[in-house]
Structure 1
Amino acid sequence: MRLFKIATLTSLGLSLAFVGGCQSLSSSPATTQGALSNIPEFTESTLPGGGVAFPHNERIHLSTDQKWIASEGHLSDLIRLQWTAERAKPAIAWADEKGKDKTAIVSHDKANNPEQHDHKHISIETTMSPTGKYKDQLYTRFEIPYDTDVSEIRTHSSNFNVMDGILRVAGGGNRDLQFASTAKENVTSPLWTLRANSSQLTGQNQGADLQIIRYSDKGEVLDSSLTVKRNNGNIGIGTATPESKLDVNGDSIRIRESKTPASSTSPGNKGDIAWDDKYMYVCVAKDTWKRSELSSW
């Protein structure tokens, strides 16, 4: 088994400390030389692919007083992973006691398969089921693309569960929860949107009305099928400005099932409406019905 020693340490404001039985290293040359003689030897990794193994149970402590400034080389990035080939994938991985990878954080530009679209993302990956079709394979669960002004964050084979908390959509414009179809290369096309719209918050509970938006097969807005006004709770079907508790912008309302109250004192609540093939019935007070005869013309 090969053994390794630290050869150099260039700090530029960074200190590397072995926390445990070893001495800490600082940017002082004299201190560094004295501490190097007390550092446990590194060994070759037993994991597939080899590499350098850090002494068992030793800890790395990184710290900096530098700022994240591009012109100075981003000196505060204490760990920098770089790919030097277009399909390389720098990663941080977690392995179990047998050395098998279980989770990883990966960032890369191009997919392993040249026929796939460029990935250009950072992703969190975890293994698939040990008894499933893709046994123990690392699989992207959460990805954030880069090189884009608006990043389309995606999940795969994942569910979100908010436990004792809030899933919140905030902002000054439209606050949307959208349902869409997915096409090739993760291109999406909207189908429905649940929206708190961008109408101004002017006081008196005005603004940010709730809407359901529907789209065509081409992803174009068709209309706002339903609107709920925040200030008074009025519901509009086919209209964004309902003027009563239920305002229908259409020429008919359908009650599919017929109902015949047994008598004018049958159970009912004020405002209930019913029909059969002879009469229309309206409940005008608690358990008080009136009817109007229907006729042909």
Structure 2
Amino acid sequence: MKLKGVIVSLLVGAALGISAMVLGGSEMAASLKESPSPEGSMEIPHNERLHLSTDKQWIAAEGHLSDLIRLQWTKERAKPAISWLDENGQNKTAIVSHGKANNPEQHDHNHMSFETTMSPDGQYRDQLFTRLEIPYDQDVAEIRTHSSNFNVMDGILRISGTEGVPRDLTWAKSVDGNVTTPRWAIRADASEESGGNAGSNLQMIRYSDDGEALDSPFTIMRSSGNIGIGNADPQARLDISDDSIRIRESKTPESSSSSGQVGEIAWDNGYVYICVAPNTWKRAALSSW
């Protein structure tokens, strides 16, 4: 094998996690040997390292000369990958990028995926499984996780956006793996931030079976903290756009001095009760008409 071919094989096979030996000269070529891996490859002497450096920029017109490692697929279903193996030579993690799925009946994948093995005691023991996929050829990439939980430890999960853009946290129904239809969203809306803490109000949005937004049944104004039910511009601390409010359970205070907080309302078959001061109730009789 010519030295140039050896170097290319090393860069492809070694890829990430290798970072300190400079390639060059016949000495290096002579020290290479065939890997014991059943797939076949060139092996760098144990504990030796690759050191890759550049003074080039990432410029398309110059051929992106700063990409020191290039992995290319030359058949449409090929999958160039970087893999990590345990002490027994078993795959544990991998980074893969490819266009077509293994199964010709599946949709095109067109993504980079981060993969780790499934449980050694489960149905798909030791199989590499996509945990995170980042698609290409999309103006807005639909990044997905699979069989994964996302935890933020001692940090912040932040959803931000520019002026006039709603910021949503959405719950959706998934069909056929990748097709999703929204059901609910919590949104900081696109209302203008005009000063005085106005704008970017919090809303809850509900969606139809077809994924179309129906309305916003719940709103909190950022400027006042007013809560609107059935409206987007509440004028009181609680502003309800409906013709009735229901208190499901009845309650009868034992006396006018029973324990109670100001503003509590209760009812029974004969009266409506209102607590007008701490532990002070008044009532109004009910009658038929």
* Same fold, TM-score > 0.5, yes or no: yes
- Cα deviation for residue 44 of structure 1 reads 1.3
What is the CA distance between 1:101 and its match in structure 2? 0.5
The verdict on how the C-alpha distance between 1:84 and 1:9 changes in structure 2, with shifts beyond 3 A counting, is: closer
Distance (Å, rounded) in 1 between the aligned partners of 2:138 and 2:28: 48
CA contact (8 A) 2:19 2:52 kept: no
**Alignment pair present for 1:151 and 2:172:** no
Structure 1 counterpart of 2:188, from 196, 205, 219: 196
- Report the more deviating stretch, 65-74 or 238-247: 65-74
Corresponding residue for residue 112 of structure 2: 122
- Rounded Cα–Cα distance in structure 1 between residues aligned with 2:38 and 2:67: 28
Counterpart secondary structure, 1:102 = strand
Number of aligned pairs? 278
User: Paired residue for 2:201?
Assistant: 209
Instruction: Identify the residue that residue 261 of structure 2 maps to in structure 1.
Output: 269
How many angstroms does 1:45 deviate by?
A: 1.5
**8 A contact 1:18–1:58 mirrored in 2:** no
Partner of 1:165: 155
User: Offset of 1:184 from its aligned partner?
Assistant: 2.2
Letter in 2 for 1:138: L
- Secondary structure at 2:93's aligned position in 1? strand
| C-alpha distance 74-54 of structure 1, shift in aligned 2 (>3 A) | same
Q: TM-score scaled to structure 2, two decimals? A: 0.92
Shift of 1:36: 2.9
> Match for residue 29 of structure 1?
none
AA aligned opposite 1:205: N
User: Is contact 1:279–1:293 with CA below 8 Å preserved after alignment?
Assistant: yes
- Say if 2:247 is the partner of 1:255: yes
Determine the C-alpha separation between the residues in 1 that align with 2:20 and 2:187: 52
Greater fraction strand: 1
Choose the corresponding residue for 2:272, options 256, 272, 280.
280
2:78 matched to 1:81?
A: no
| Deviation for aligned residue 1:275 | 0.6
Instruction: Provide the rounded CA distance (Å) in 2 between the counterparts of 1:98 and 1:90.
Output: 22
- CA gap of 1:171–1:44, structure 2 versus 1, over 3 A, is same
In structure 2, the partner of 1:14 is none
How many angstroms apart in 1 are the aligned matches of 2:19 and 2:234?
68
RMSD across aligned C-alpha pairs, in angstroms? 1.9
Equivalent-residue separation in structure 2 for 1:217 and 1:224 (angstroms): 16
Pairing 1:139–2:129 present = yes
SS at match of 2:45: coil
Q: Which runs of 5+ in 1 are unaligned?
A: 12-16, 26-31
Which whole-Å CA distance do the structure 2 matches of 1:42 and 1:131 have between them?
38
Q: Which residue, 241, 246, 261 being the options, matches 2:238?
A: 246
Helix, strand or coil: the match of 2:287? coil
Give 3-state SS (helix, strand or coil) of 2:125's partner.
Answer: coil
Structure 2 match to 1:6: 3
The whole-number CA distance in structure 2 between the counterparts of 1:194 and 1:57 is 52
Q: Is the 8 A contact 1:66 1:76 kept in 2?
A: yes
SS at match of 1:181: strand
Q: Distance in 2 between matches of 1:95 and 1:10?
A: 22
SS in 1 for 2:51: strand
Could you give the per-residue CA deviations for residues 155-194 of structure 1, whole angstroms, max 9, x where no partner exists?
0000001000000000121110000011125111100000
How far apart are residue 75 of structure 1 and its match?
0.6
Question: What is residue 224 of structure 1 aligned with on the other side?
Answer: 216
2:70 alignment partner, SS class:
coil
